[in-house]
Structure 1
Amino acid sequence: MQVATGKSILNGIAIGKIKVYRAPRLVISDAMVNDVEAELARFESAREKAVAQQSALYDKALVEAGEENAAVFEIHGMMLEDDDLIDAICEIIQKQQKNAEYAVKTACDNQARVFAEMDDPYMNARSADIDDIGRSMLDFLMGNDLSSLQGSEPSILVAEDLAPSETVRLDKSLLLGFVTREGSTNSHTAILARSMNIPALVQCGEASADWDGKTAIIDGYNSCIYIEPTEDLMASLKKRREEDQAKTALLQELKGKDNTTIDGKTVKVYANIGGPSDIGAVQQNDAGGVGLFRTEFVYLNSKESPTEEQQFQAYRHVLESLAPKQVIVRTCDIGADKTVDYMKLDAEENPALGYRAIRICLTRKEFFRTQLRALLRASAYGNMGIMFPMIISVRELREAKEILEECRQELLGEGVKVGEYEIGTMIETPAAAILADELAEECDFFSIGTNDLTQYTCAIDRQNAKLEPFSDTHHPAVLRLIQMTIEAGHRHGTWVGICGELGADLSLTETFLRMGVDELSVNPKSVLPLRKTIRGINLKNDPCGCGGS
């Protein structure tokens, strides 16, 4: 038996035979061509097919991984329409009289290198996206059929790496799990694998083509893969897999139950969503409401600034579908790692600390007013909370509220019905946590965004895979800021929720309940496991076993 280690994407067990995934080698000739126009037409045909492919992958990912995770393919489609990239490829074909394959490979390699050499980790990651769309065009140019690479039997795939498009194109019914030599736990591929509930290991340097056809077990709990496991180990991990399946079935029995501890404390358990396509997941997993509705999908899925009517229809659909459940809508959080060309945002050396979210909205007020009017109109169709992101001062919150009130008065003057709504702010910076007492006087609720709060408190870029060894998601400074925020909110009658990744960390659930948190908002798939944990907690027990003296 051989044991190889890597970094686990998902706690789970996958058992089966290994299929080594060998993508066709790209042998690109640099031969000159005589018919330049024919070569330009070949390129354009391949590009159009690649655009259509990204659209199909978006639709597939939408179903399998949700709106937010599918957005990468929307971005890929935009990249394939980028004039600079198209011009660079056409220039090589026309001026150098090279074939389309050579032109695509050269132009994409050059563009990927530009991104790879940037200091910003988000822009570094765009290098892999360029490689992905370049490979897509080359496959069409060269007639590569990737459909047979997975084989016809359920298997564990082993590969050098998998691009997001490759991951989504795989037949999920034949995919037991996968192992790659390269990759990152924060990559789009890893996020997609988690969303699709696929056990996987990345950065498994010992992965080998010699494993092809051998029986193996991916042990996501221990971040390893066993090649040709012993009978005892096979029996043990089969039992663990059966236990996991039984737990999943048991969780379904929790539907309709209260999120109440043994000693009677009830907490709201809501879901985070990325768009209307996640409505089904909210209902299927019995979430009490939506604690974070990311409105970025409206902007990322549009080639120009979305109109008030387009936004209204999208927001109304979600509110109406989930009524009377509360839906907390976060206003536009474009910027940092989420950009769209039509907003013409300047490149920044430090975008995570730059022009994003409320900072854009307060300096582009007509843009902000368009969204606020759409939200206010939608409020008549459900139970809405409006939440402002990246607030760091009372002045910003007051200004945002003033613009919201101006929009409300405008709509009422136009005879448009506006519903009731709560106003909240995200606490995702140390500044906001420290000012929580003052901010609480200005709003109805807080939602703590632990992802950014951790990043800004610890000065750890969460997009940078190299910093994983330095990252501590349970950092005591972050937990103290959460405690401070909850206490400050309660002093002023403001309820407090958590909508970041830590909300789904079951090892912290009891800690958060003891802090007094009112609401936890998590990925829809985490709702029932969180409910089960809450129902097993007794807050009257002494947490430290010291008798409370």
Structure 2
Amino acid sequence: MLDTLRRIVQEVNSAADLKDALELMTRRVRDAMGTEVCSIYLLDAQEQRYVLMASEGLKREAVGCVSLGATEGLVGLVGMREEPVNLEDAFSHPKFLYLAETGEDPFHAFLGVPVMNQGKVLGVLVVQQRDNRRFDQSEEAFLVTLSAQLSAVVAHARANGSIEALARKAAPNSTAIYEGLVGASGAAIGTAVLLFPPADLAAVPDREAEDIEAEVALLESALVRVRADVRALSERARGRLGDAEQELFEVYLRMLDKHALAGEIVASIREGHWAQGALRTVIDTHVRAFEMMDDDYLRERAADVRDLGRRVLAELQSRNRRPQAFPDNAILMGEEITPTMLLEVPQSRVAGIATIQGSRNSHMAILARAMGIPTVVAPSLPLKQLDGRELIVDGFRGRVIANPPAELRHQFQVIIDEERTLMAGLEKLRELPAETRDGQRIALQVNTGLFTDISRSLQRGAEGVGLYRTEIPFMIRDRFPSEEEQQRIYREQLQSFAPHPVTMRTLDVGGDKALPYFPIVEDNPFLGWRGIRVTLDHPEIFTTQLRAMLRASEGLDNLRILLPMVSSVFEVEEAQQLIHRAWLEVCEEGADILLPPVGAMIEVPAAVYQARALAQRVDFLSVGTNDLTQYLLAVDRNNRRVADLYNFYHPAVLHALAQIVAAAAAEGKPVSVCGEMAGDPGTALLLVAMGVEVLSMNAPNLLKVKAAIRNVARSDLEQLLAEVLQMDNGEVIEAYVALQLERAGLEELLGKRVVA
């Protein structure tokens, strides 16, 4: 039975569309269970009716036409009870509803199980038989197991509108909402433009090389042109990207080196394969190797290899490619959009990005955030159907809306326009301090990691950097950067913000951040080898980075060092010793550098309870509220099943923050917050009330937070904090804070979002 189950699941998951998947399921289940009928009813959420969507054994013409109310018949009973209903004689049950259109007259035995996802009934899976008999426990368990598998297919179909389209035979231009994950925040409205690779590697056949040397020459000629294209792209992007991001192109060029992919392809040709076939074999091997890796970041590298393979294949096949036209406000769509594909499009034409594959860690998402392009990764996007249609990219909630109705489009346009108007109006605050009405001064700093963050941050009036993510220069290379390379990058940051402080977090990899050349494979990476645990285990990496930071700060003296993922005082003490040793080394080498302040990040519950002990050993504390919230609530916010539980206003989060600030105050040490809570006006004001002295955020949020602080009194905020700390429900707290801000005339800063 297990083999049968596995085979059915594999077939259903590989079905071309929802209709095929449902038909396959009913056919295979009927055969596997030896019954005479298998049917699937799906709930039309809008009409609140169960529609017969597929059946083996009932009349074909009934499919798509017959439906029952949410409480009607035995199907409705299964849905209401949210558990299996197993009847020996369905006709004798008081809830039995006869439907002549289905032709179910002779079927007495009935077993129905709910199809559920995230606690909601999506449909009902039914088997029936002529004989009066009760299905046994193994049969019921088998159907329940299949129902659980079917729920994923149905949930996916509901997210992209396939259920409604199939039930009502909706027009192709009907409105549909595709749920996904945020790659880069913001909202955009525009015309979808499907970016597709110039060549299809999968279509390349196997052939023997007629002339091996000619095939090698053909490949090398293609590689020369591709390298030239990559260099040209690098030059075109130089004005938009900094040295750190430019390293991406160097990675591409090194991958095309004779000691890397190019060498393997030539070796395959010399084994007797023609150039295109050798290319396909080598690229496929590397892509599969990356895709099978457990690490999210390494899996993303498969897209880079595939992109290079397509480019080489395109040059092998033809040099006559027609340029693609891009309308104003283009929404770039693709199965995956690589950085090179993105940078080939005129930036002035790009309004948003929507892809099927990718993550917040992909190079595409990193560049999109640097370029300020709203981006959503939605696996259910039907790319070919949406090409040329109007889309809304909702980078606030992580969804793509196709063919939006006029009213919804207008609502999003209002949000986009209001955001532009608001930001323009807030520009007058750029040079003013973030000071409450009763004189409490708060330092507003920015979180950076990319070169493009610098100019945007300075334009917003940032008073320094509260978090510089040093891992990004590491992530976009194919090797560890040297001390000199790191020094150059760090100097650029320190010099740009001088004399304001720049807080540089030491290398923070592991969890959802990995290096392609330093893989960390773990069953539970968020509870594993990450942050300071990695660097203390590799002092040679840590010391090199510390030396680069210290040398970069010479003559500026605005460096602050921050230690990530601290969970014990021992880690801080060991790190302090290495920092002191690195400082003595560079001083002995002739550098004139002050020993910089050192801080510890509070990101895990253990650090919350040791906050006072940590404060005794460092110069400042910095709270990473993103990870702290995730660990306190045991919620992965990138997991759509539990993302609704991730809430900064949760009482546990607020009480933990108050405890951290109190512990630091007892030792006379300042506290900064560098997580997303700092950039939200509502939570930022609660942090100010607690006594947080520095808020660090993404640059676009800085002026909003400044406006909120300048329009309230610290005394009023302390009263608000005292009230919410008595509450025990995060959603109630969030609503109450929003209400108080609205009463204070700050509703335009709350970032209201359209709910479709």
Report TM bin, short chain.
Answer: 0.7 to 0.9
1:333-372 to structure 2, matched below 5 A, reads 333-334=508-509, 337-339=513-515, 341=517, 350-372=524-546
Q: Give the aligned residue type for 2:290.
A: F
Q: Is 1:390 paired with 2:565? A: yes
Task: Tell me the CA shift for residue 418 of structure 1.
Answer: 1.5
Gaps of 5+ in 2: 1-172, 727-756
| 2:615 counterpart residue number | 440
Contact between 2:389 and 2:402, CA under 8 Å: does it hold in 1?
A: no
Contact between 1:299 and 1:340, CA under 8 Å: does it hold in 2?
A: no
1:191-340 to structure 2, matched below 5 A, reads 191-203=366-378, 205=380, 207=382, 209=384, 212-214=387-389, 218=393, 223-225=399-401, 227=403, 229-230=405-406, 237-274=412-449, 278-296=453-471, 299=474, 306-334=481-509, 337-339=513-515
1:519-534 to structure 2, matched below 5 A, reads 519-534=694-709
| 1:98 counterpart residue number | 273
Cα 1:505–1:412 change in 2 (3 A) is same
Contact between 1:390 and 1:428, CA under 8 Å: does it hold in 2?
A: yes
Q: Is 1:37 paired with 2:213? A: yes
1:100-119 to structure 2, matched below 5 A, reads 100-119=275-294
Write the distance in 1 (CA, Å) between the matches of 2:567 and 2:454: 31
| 2:15 counterpart residue number | none
Larger Rg: 2
Q: Give the aligned residue type for 2:371.
A: M
**1:4 paired residue among 135, 154, 176:** 176
Contact between 1:184 and 1:190, CA under 8 Å: does it hold in 2?
A: yes
Write the distance in 2 (CA, Å) between the matches of 1:365 and 1:181: 39
Q: Is 1:377 paired with 2:554? A: no
Write the distance in 1 (CA, Å) between the matches of 2:410 and 2:537: 62
| 1:543 counterpart residue number | 720
Task: Tell me the CA shift for residue 259 of structure 1.
Answer: 1.3
Cα 1:218–1:419 change in 2 (3 A) is closer
Task: Tell me the CA shift for residue 274 of structure 1.
Answer: 1.9
Contact between 1:331 and 1:388, CA under 8 Å: does it hold in 2?
A: yes
Cα 1:477–1:39 change in 2 (3 A) is farther
Q: Look up the SS of the partner of 1:271 in the other structure.
A: strand
Q: Look up the SS of the partner of 1:253 in the other structure.
A: helix
Contact between 1:398 and 1:442, CA under 8 Å: does it hold in 2?
A: yes
| 1:487-541 deviations in Å (ceiling 9; x for gaps) | 2212111111122333323442223223322212122233223322333444433
| 1:418 counterpart residue number | 593
Q: Give the aligned residue type for 2:177.
A: T
Task: Tell me the CA shift for residue 381 of structure 1.
Answer: 2.0
Q: Look up the SS of the partner of 2:305 in the other structure.
A: helix
Judge which range, 265-274 or 187-196, deviates more. 187-196
Q: Identity percentage over the alignment?
A: 34
| 1:114-150 deviations in Å (ceiling 9; x for gaps) | 3323333333333333333333333333336777224
Q: Give the aligned residue type for 2:532.
A: I
Write the distance in 1 (CA, Å) between the matches of 2:230 and 2:487: 27
Q: Normalized against structure 2, the TM-score is what?
A: 0.63
Q: Look up the SS of the partner of 1:543 in the other structure.
A: helix
1:455-470 to structure 2, matched below 5 A, reads 455-458=630-633, 469=643
| 2:659 counterpart residue number | 484
Q: Normalized against structure 1, the TM-score is what?
A: 0.84
Cα 1:233–1:303 change in 2 (3 A) is closer
| 2:23 counterpart residue number | none
Cα 1:234–1:418 change in 2 (3 A) is closer
| 2:340 counterpart residue number | 165
Give the structure, 1 or 2, with the largest relative contact order (CA under 8 Å, sep 6 or more). Answer: 1
Q: Is 1:502 paired with 2:674? A: no
| 1:165-218 deviations in Å (ceiling 9; x for gaps) | 322322222223344455556654344334433344442746464555555555
Task: Tell me the CA shift for residue 255 of structure 1.
Answer: 0.8
How many residues are paired up?
Answer: 544
Q: Give the aligned residue type for 1:257.
A: L
Cα 1:80–1:493 change in 2 (3 A) is farther
Write the distance in 1 (CA, Å) between the matches of 2:340 and 2:642: 25
Cα 1:194–1:513 change in 2 (3 A) is same
| 1:211-259 deviations in Å (ceiling 9; x for gaps) | 55555555556745352744x6655554443322211211322210111
Write the distance in 1 (CA, Å) between the matches of 2:433 and 2:321: 47
Contact between 1:4 and 1:204, CA under 8 Å: does it hold in 2?
A: no
Write the distance in 2 (CA, Å) between the matches of 1:367 and 1:204: 37
Cα 1:433–1:102 change in 2 (3 A) is farther
| 2:81 counterpart residue number | none
Contact between 1:320 and 1:381, CA under 8 Å: does it hold in 2?
A: no
Write the distance in 2 (CA, Å) between the matches of 1:327 and 1:293: 7
| 1:381-406 deviations in Å (ceiling 9; x for gaps) | 22221222233221221122223223
Task: Tell me the CA shift for residue 440 of structure 1.
Answer: 0.5
Write the distance in 2 (CA, Å) between the matches of 1:148 and 1:378: 44
Q: Give the aligned residue type for 1:271.
A: V
RMSD of aligned Cα (Å) = 3.8
| 1:329-360 deviations in Å (ceiling 9; x for gaps) | 2223355533264xx66755555544444334
Q: Give the aligned residue type for 1:369.
A: T
**2:686 paired residue among 487, 493, 511:** 511
| 2:738 counterpart residue number | none
Q: Is 1:472 paired with 2:646? A: yes
Write the distance in 2 (CA, Å) between the matches of 1:287 and 1:423: 21
Contact between 1:5 and 1:204, CA under 8 Å: does it hold in 2?
A: no
Judge which range, 172-181 or 320-329, deviates more. 172-181
Gaps of 5+ in 1: none
Q: Give the aligned residue type for 1:381.
A: G
Q: Give the aligned residue type for 2:669.
A: T
| 1:291-347 deviations in Å (ceiling 9; x for gaps) | 122333554566765554544444334323322111112223355533264xx6675
| 1:426-479 deviations in Å (ceiling 9; x for gaps) | 2223322222111100111112223443454455567x6666647615355444
Cα 1:34–1:533 change in 2 (3 A) is farther
Judge which range, 443-452 or 372-381, deviates more. 372-381
Cα 1:62–1:426 change in 2 (3 A) is farther
Cα 1:153–1:277 change in 2 (3 A) is closer
Q: Look up the SS of the partner of 2:439 in the other structure.
A: coil
Cα 1:127–1:370 change in 2 (3 A) is closer
Q: Look up the SS of the partner of 1:372 in the other structure.
A: helix
